[in-house]
Chains A and B, each alone.
Chain A
């Protein structure tokens, strides 16, 4: 609270002196993207570790599998990124995938047009999202309660439809989304392949990036997460954007159901149990603040790949029982949440 002299304009950042100061200066101005860079470092570190200890990680087939097996996770991680940035949460993604895929496969097997079925699968997801958004926005239900109710509803409806694995006909056009396309022909089976599902996931990521960073809706989503009341007073369309975020999340869950079903060819009512944890963990590891206001779609992709790679390592290692996977994921998520908490507290 000193009296400032008239000549010195307030708030001029001190000029950087030396490389260390430059680094800290960069960190000061890029605090929100810092965790994402950290996630990238962790991912690279994991790749190097796995390559050294288990080998055969940095090769086309492993990379392809990592992408193909996690494309649905990438999609719902993007969905959760949208929701979490507003300061909300969506616990229904896994259950919505279960309902969408079971309903979709049954409709397709009943002879419905495959393209219509895929659209419907997305629409089912959007409907659940719409109900969540309505509960949250108009009935003032806390996001986690509203989406928890949707989780039980979707899972319950899926179980009502069928409790056994529903197999999609091999000739169904939906399965075309799961066909592997060879991009690079390596020695033996060591090819780099992708599926249309992977392409869809990448498009979702690009789309998510575009919406969040290049549209007013996207910026409103960040503003809501920063301080909802301020966003409201700034005249931003808070209500509409909050509803939209849950509809986006629901639709993307539907899309993830399409991609996942196309790859597996099977849908079941217990599909996607615990995926909400994976999606939240992916977003949080990738630098999305659980309290809202900060996060990056690209970070969530890295988060999803970290989890995917973790699964690869666990299965390669063999000494870790597969039951431990959720425990480890939970532990990692908890660690990151605590880390965020500590960082935010210090910044305050």
Chain B
């Protein structure tokens, strides 16, 4: 099939303040192959792609394209080098027509400027290549579904006749039909000799389409494999850096309280919001750790935001400690003893220019209102307590939080929320992008909180972590809750992955799992036994 690699990246290093994003990564891409880039969240996949597309400039290393070393200083450079990219978020402009989006910057020019007729004709030709010939190119892009927009984005990317096509999570918003259309297109491009870099969370898709894989973990290169040589378990083991067998059974049933016996703290019925999460039933017991597992975009974050009031639900109700409670804003969430630590620490968590002290007391202060400032004594008490408890380094409360490492920022935020003494603490990706030591500290803290009677919702894309920490795991897929798994100590990352991937082959244990209809009397569970799941668009049988 192939001869010389068309893209070769050697020893790529790139760092951001406080993080080493890529540490000596090698990567090569051969013409006429589909190469999957694998790794967990934060492994450095996006960073590597951004190096190749000229969005980030590398600190060290070498990028060779078509045999010649290149300095990529911007997206235009990368395009000029023949690299086209389609991102997870559709990067088109919704205010222009479909045809224009395909042709922007490459419009056909006639005697009187752009010839729209010729441009639309060319756009149509390009779209036809991708099975989209039926689209009216003169309609606004916004009339298309996100899925079709994604296909249009690929058509646009290939207008430049690139030799390299990068697809960064292109399938996260496509249904089964659309995925197979996309794969048809990918295969066609592959046969034309285009090198395709494919990133996806869906293992099934990766195994269906890719010829070769490169696995990254924590910014490091873990290896390059032929897809046919690497089975699923070995892949997951490489991605999380451990043998799968060691992942099972780490969870101990903590306090001996059986799942059904806990007194419910929060019961949500039909809770949902259009375009974000379908109507969901959920119950959380006092002192229970409930894990939300699912892929990015599965609805796990969205559900958490509804519980806290970060987004306003448009259906359903929440019963808190037996009383119906309307939670329509974060302030209301806090007032009702709920706290949410956002997955987006940088934009939705820390207030970068404020000090550690100010960041830590902000939520307590907001709950008291601006008229009743915390006394200096109370402030110091809170700040000292959590700096000591979590071992925040440096232990200087006057330092701007932006100068702390990610792990320490996370500890400060944890302090912010705990200072409000919540009954329910929702932690969305509390361990993302932080070092191992801080990770362990945070996990320990979470477990201790639950022992003290606080309810915890724990969300992480490191499924291994969810399996280890949670008493019960809510599995989300396609913005719906698809299963609830009671963790009796036998649940492993592999079990959960199987439920998420909804693949029957590897789901040996799943069939035997408790599907939790009896978890909480009085709440109806929408969980579906995985074998008979109705939403099968994603899976490839």
Contacts and interface: CB of A to CB of B under 8 A. Distances in A.
Interface of A: 1, 3-4, 6, 9-13, 28-29, 31-32, 210, 213-216, 219-220, 222-223, 225-227, 229-237, 293-294, 347
A348 to B, nearest CB: 10
A210 B93 contact: no
Given A1-B478, A234-B105, A235-B79, A10 B178 contact: yes
A70 B487 CA distance: 75
Interface in B445-487: 478
A294 B140 CA distance: 12
B374 interface: no
B148 A222 contact: no
Nearest to B275: A348
**In the complex, which of the residues B87, B91, B94, B95 has the most CB atoms of chain A within 10 Å of its own CB atom?**
B95
A29 B177 contact: no
6 contacts: A1-B537, A214-B114, A215-B113, A226-B93, A227-B94, A235-B105
A337 B362 CA distance: 35
A11 B175 contact: no
A216 B107 contact: yes
B426 to A, nearest CB: 26
Nearest to A229: B91
B135 interface: yes
Given A9-B134, A219-B100, A222-B96, A230 B91 contact: yes
B354 interface: no
Contact of A234 (B104, B139, B148, B535): B104
B267 to A, nearest CB: 27
Contacts of B107: 216, 219
A225 B175 contact: no
Contacts of B16: none
| Residue among A6, A28, A232, A234 with max Cβ neighbours from chain B (10 Å) | A234
Interface residues of B, number: 40
Contacts of B176: 3
Given A1-B478, A13-B139, A214 B112 contact: yes
Contacts of A293: 93, 95
A233 B91 contact: yes
Contact of A215 (B100, B114, B147, B175): B114
By secondary structure, the B interface counts as loop
B75 interface: yes
Contacts of A213: 113-114
A227 B148 contact: no
Contacts of A220: 104-105
B114 A216 contact: yes
B85 interface: yes
Given A210-B113, A215-B113, A234 B96 contact: no
Nearest 3 pairs of A and B residues by beta carbon: A214-B113, A226-B93, A293-B95
B456 to A, nearest CB: 31
Nearest to B119: A219
B148 A13 contact: no
B145 interface: yes
Interface of B: 55, 75-76, 79, 85, 87, 91-96, 100, 104-105, 107, 109, 112-114, 134-136, 138-140, 142-145, 147-148, 156, 175-178, 478, 535, 537
A227 B177 contact: no
B24 to A, nearest CB: 27
Nearest to B149: A11
B75 A235 contact: yes
Contact of A232 (B75, B92, B109, B138): B75
Contacts of A6: 177
A100 to B, nearest CB: 29
B85 A223 contact: no
Nearest to B136: A13
A33 B82 CA distance: 36
A294 B75 contact: no
Nearest to A85: B95
Given A1-B478, A233-B87, A235-B105, A222 B175 contact: no
Given A216-B114, A236-B104, A29 B139 contact: yes
Nearest to B114: A214
Contacts of A215: 113-114
Nearest to B85: A233
A3 B176 CA distance: 8
A233 B75 contact: yes
A234 B156 contact: yes
Given A235-B79, A293-B93, A4 B177 contact: yes
A226 B175 contact: no
Given A11-B135, A223-B104, A235 B93 contact: no
Given A31-B140, A236-B105, 10 more contacts: A4-B177, A11-B145, A29-B139, A29-B143, A214-B112, A222-B96, A223-B93, A226-B93, A233-B87, A234-B91
A235 B84 CA distance: 10
Contacts of A1: 175, 478, 535, 537
A14 to B, nearest CB: 12
A227 B93 contact: yes
B175 A4 contact: yes
Contact of B105 (A3, A216, A222, A294): A216
A29 B136 CA distance: 11
A226 B85 contact: no
B114 A32 contact: no
A226 B96 CA distance: 8
Nearest to B139: A29
Of the candidates A10, A210, A223, A225, the one having the most CB atoms from chain B within 10 angstroms of its own CB is: A10
Contact of A225 (B55, B95, B114): B95
B90 to A, nearest CB: 8
A243 B327 CA distance: 46
B95 to A, nearest CB: 4
Contacts of A233: 55, 75, 85, 87, 91
Contact of A222 (B76, B95, B145): B95
Nearest to B89: A230
B169 to A, nearest CB: 15
B145 A226 contact: no
A10 B95 contact: no
Contacts of B79: 235
A31 B143 CA distance: 11
A132 B87 CA distance: 33
A222 B96 CA distance: 8
A216 B148 CA distance: 25
A12 B96 contact: no
A234 B109 CA distance: 19
Given A28-B143, A29-B140, A219-B100, A230 B92 contact: yes
A12 B104 CA distance: 23
**Max count, chain A CB within 10 A of own CB: residue among B79, B105, B109, B176:** B105
Contacts of B109: 216
Given A9-B134, A11-B145, A216-B114, A32 B95 contact: yes
Contacts of B144: 11
Contact of B148 (A10, A31, A232): A10
A219 B107 CA distance: 9
A225 B147 CA distance: 23
A10 B104 contact: no
B265 to A, nearest CB: 32
A4 B55 CA distance: 37
Contacts of A9: 134
B148 A11 contact: yes
A220 B103 CA distance: 11
